[in-house]
Amino acid sequence: MKVVTIKDVAARAGVSPKTVSRVINGEDHVRAEVREAVQRAVAELDYRPNAFARSLSSSRSYLLGLFIDDPVSGYAADVQHGALLRCRARSYHLVVEPVELSRPEWREQIRGSISSLKLDGAIIAPPVCDEPALVDLFVGAALPHVLMAPSVEAMTSGTVRMDDERAAREMTEHLLAFGHRHIAFVQGPVSHSASARREAGFRAAMAAAGAAVDERAVLRGDFTFRSGMEAGERLLSLKKRPTAIFASNDDMALGVLITAMKCGLAVPEQLSVSGFDDTASSRAAWPQITTIRQPKAEMAAAAVDILTDPRFRRQMGDPEFHLLLPHALIRRGSTGLCLAA
């Protein structure tokens, strides 16, 4: 089987190999019609640039790093999938680097990764993207980086995020529309900036509807299944039991759902349960969990787009590299009309 070369692509597109290289590397100053012709030839010939050869012929490695605290979580799986697919489309490779901020040597580990891997850029996922000392390592190394779902935008970084507060408000309004007024809320960890934004959305919707928030029914979780079960046990043992529980991520919502079943409660007839993120666990549960679809894979893909845009290295403070992606409320079987007297 003949290996397709850059010369083959150039011949098909009617341009020089150097022009093909410029298009593949995302360089500026290529006419739109020429860029389209090269991209069409690449697709028709199924051309795959040799990453090693590309790195030898330039100062770039064509390698991006994804820095994340829990690489095996459902959230991380979606992020990695989105980043990998976009890296493949752009002829880049991705390496996943776990970040354990609880370990005293984490700074040395990150410095070592930055130095040894010769990355072209880095994606820093939540919640570690909100650790200033971590971000400073990438700034100090002059390594282009994008923060996913950060608490604030930074002019030295690109950012991709969604509107967590608005999404949580929409979910609370969904429950209120079913007639629920005694709605419990399971918070996320303090270390995760999205936790505060989601709680703010919940409280804003309750206030707008004139529905009082029972502070005894607002409990702290840590985005794990176990913490959802523990929160569910406490909430369902309250003298005034909530008619709906909004957990601020799907793993905790699943924990609440399992606890409700253990207590013999029918969902959603006796208790509505909702989550956030639209991870695989929300779809595997029965009934399936009503949730907010966070565009995790799309955010990761957008981060790759930013890092591989040659303008980003020159214009990191440009508003074009601070993206807000849309979310969606996914209505499923775990929420329904409030039938409590």
Rounded to whole angstroms, the Cα distance separating 203 from 211 reads: 9
Residues 194, 269 within the same domain = yes
Same domain, 274 and 192: yes
The pLDDT tens digits along the chain (341 residues) read: 567 777 888 888 888 888 877 787 666 678 888 888 888 888 787 776 665 455 444 567 889 999 999 888 878 889 999 999 999 988 899 999 999 999 999 999 999 999 888 899 999 999 999 999 999 999 999 999 999 999 876 667 899 999 999 999 999 999 999 999 999 999 999 988 899 999 999 999 999 999 999 999 999 999 999 999 999 999 999 999 999 999 999 999 999 999 999 999 999 999 999 999 998 889 999 999 999 999 999 999 999 999 998 888 777 667 788 999 999 999 999 999 998 75
The predicted pLDDT at position 56 comes to 43
Q: Is residue 171 part of a domain?
A: yes
Residues 157, 87 within the same domain: yes
DSSP output for 42-71: HHHHT----HHHHHHTSS---EEEEEES-T
Instruction: Give CA–CA dist 260/309, Å, rounded.
Output: 48
pLDDT of 5 reads 78
E strand map for 177-279: 183-187, 218-220, 244-247, 272-274
Residue 181's pLDDT is 97
Same domain, 188 and 286: yes
The domain that contains 199 carries what CATH number?
3.40.50.2300
Task: Give how many domains the chain has, as a whole number.
Answer: 3
Does residue 341 sit within a domain? no
Would you say residue 316 lies in a domain?
no
Residues 210 and 120 in one domain: no
Q: Are both 35 and 93 inside the same structural domain?
A: no
What six digits make up the tokens of 222?
């840590």
User: Are residues 282 and 134 located together in one domain of the fold?
Assistant: no
Q: Specify the pLDDT at position 128.
A: 93
Indicate whether 216 and 241 sit together in one domain: yes
200 within some domain: yes
Q: Distance between CA atoms of 310 and 325, rounded to whole angstroms?
A: 22
Q: Is 318 domain-assigned? A: no
pLDDT, one tens digit per residue, over 120-166 is: 999 999 999 999 999 999 999 999 999 999 987 666 789 999 999 99
User: For the domain that residue 10 is a member of, what is the CATH number?
Assistant: 1.10.260.40
Whether 230 and 190 map to the same domain: the answer is: yes
Contact 261, 267 (CB under 8 A): yes
Burial class for 281, CB neighbours closer than 10 Å (0-12, 13-18, 19+): buried
pLDDT in the model for residue 50: 60
Both 90 and 208 in a single domain? no
Same domain assignment for residues 218 and 276: yes
In a domain, 181, yes or no: yes
Domain that holds residue 232: 164-293
Say if 336 falls within a structural domain.
no
176 lies in the same domain as 289: yes
* Residue 324 resides in a domain: no
Confidence (pTM): 0.79
